[in-house]
Amino acid sequence: MRNNLIVYSTVLLLNLVFTAEQARANEAFKTLATAKAIKCSFEKGTKGTWKGKSVNVEKNNKKSDIEFDSINIMSGEAYRTDKHKSTSVIAMLTTSNLTFIEQTDAGNVAFTTVSSVYADGSKEFIAVNSEHVLVSATSFARQYHGTCKIMK
């Protein structure tokens, strides 16, 4: 009888823990899904450069801020804004993140994915920014890791 009580208590406790964790995840996702403006900061990253069939991967840390405004999940549109201009981008909400897809003036593609998971100890979301670049006969990709905060 005592063993059954221990098992029952353990199952109940685990259920409460998982329910609380799910509630936090739902709150984070709702916050992200209803955002109208987001500011992301990236610092740590890597760059992979291809020459023929070989690739060289190296650290490529840089401080970079990216802002998205007028986010409209229903139409799939948003704007990437900076000091000089505003560029139309695709905004795509999935079951776990919000991704922005941009085609640059040079024709290259950049992706920014904002996860519905908060960085430890904050209300900022973890995020990844990837740039895929083809210049002449050389191709390279950069990927940066950082956080995003909801501006409105």
Residue 24 has a pLDDT of: 55
pLDDT band at 10 (very low <50, low <70, confident <90, very high): very low
The domain ranges of the chain are 2-150
Domain 2-150: assigned CATH number: 2.40.160
Place of tokens 């984070």: 28
The stretch 16-34 carries a mean pLDDT of 67
Tens digits of per-residue pLDDT, 115-126? Answer: 999 998 899 999
- The whole-angstrom separation of Cα 62 and Cα 66 is 12
Asked if 105 and 89 count as a contact pair (C-beta separation under 8 A), the reply is no
The strand pair at 125-135 and 138-150 is best described as antiparallel
Q: Is residue 11 helix, strand or coil? A: helix
Residue 15 has a pLDDT of: 42
Structure token digits, residue 19: 């329910």
Residue 25 has a pLDDT of: 61
Tens digits of per-residue pLDDT, 41-86? Answer: 998 988 888 777 888 888 888 778 999 999 999 999 999 988 788 8
**Is pLDDT above 70 for 3?**
no
The pTM is what? 0.79
